Amino acid sequence: MEGRMPLIGDKFPEMRVQTTQGMKSIPGDYQGKWIVLFSHPADFTPVCTTEFVAFQNRYEDFKKLNTELIGLSVDQVFSHIKWVQWIKEELNIEIKFPIIADTGGVSDKLGLIHPGKGTNTVRAVFFIDPSGTIRAMLYYPQELGRNFDEILRMIKAFQVADKNKVAMPADWPNNSLINDGVIVPPATDVEAAEKRKGQYECYDWWFCHKKL
């Protein structure tokens, strides 16, 4: 796995890391919780600062979804601490989630070093479920800040999908065809296909949906 992005469905590699809140084992210390682990290019940069504020503004929303936030960059821990202090003093925002001070080992395992940008980490986001499995990844260039409402939406969608064994339509919960409905898994045999239209709302036997 070293030197490349891991794949969806892989187990997140167990690692012991230094953070602004002490040493952490990831994902071991977070067993039973969802994790959103996100890398940023560098401390004391404007886009990254707006991103950290955006994450903190949604911190309680993530906590309600049993989700922990963890930041990361190839900066030393004292740089993280000073930056967090600056955000609190200048922007009146207290960053409550830990930030990994990566010496390069974490980024090497996860393939986070941009090949054309020296040692800076890209803007990656890993969605890790309570069993430690990577469920999704987002990958942004340095010049583009992330959409944090989408990150929160993805956590909500994963939890609804897992609990109800359904799939989520485009733009859920505001889909243009089925609104906040969810997609029923397709029938796998003729008999089930014939029964579908009587069980659910359907455009056809292979496209059925329901309200939760």
> Cα separation of 188 and 16, whole Å?
44
Whether the Cβ atoms of residue 39 and residue 124 lie closer than 8 Å to each other: yes
Whether the Cβ atoms of residue 58 and residue 148 lie closer than 8 Å to each other: yes
pTM, two decimals, is 0.92
- Which helix (H) or strand (E) segment is 137 a member of? strand 134-140
Residues 38, 93, single domain; the answer is yes
Residue 202 known to be catalytic:
no
Residues 57, 125, single domain; the answer is yes
Residues 189, 131, single domain; the answer is no
> Cα separation of 168 and 175, whole Å?
9
Summarize pLDDT for 115-132 with one digit per residue, the tens.
666 667 788 999 999 999
Residues 95, 169, single domain; the answer is no
Residues 169, 81, single domain; the answer is no
Say if 4 falls within a structural domain: no
Say if 67 falls within a structural domain: yes
Say if 6 falls within a structural domain: no
Range of the domain at 211: 165-212
Summarize pLDDT for 46-102 with one digit per residue, the tens.
999 999 999 999 999 999 999 999 999 989 999 999 999 999 999 999 999 999 999
Which residue has 């067993």 as its token pair? 31
Pick the catalytic residue: 17, 26, 35, 48? 48
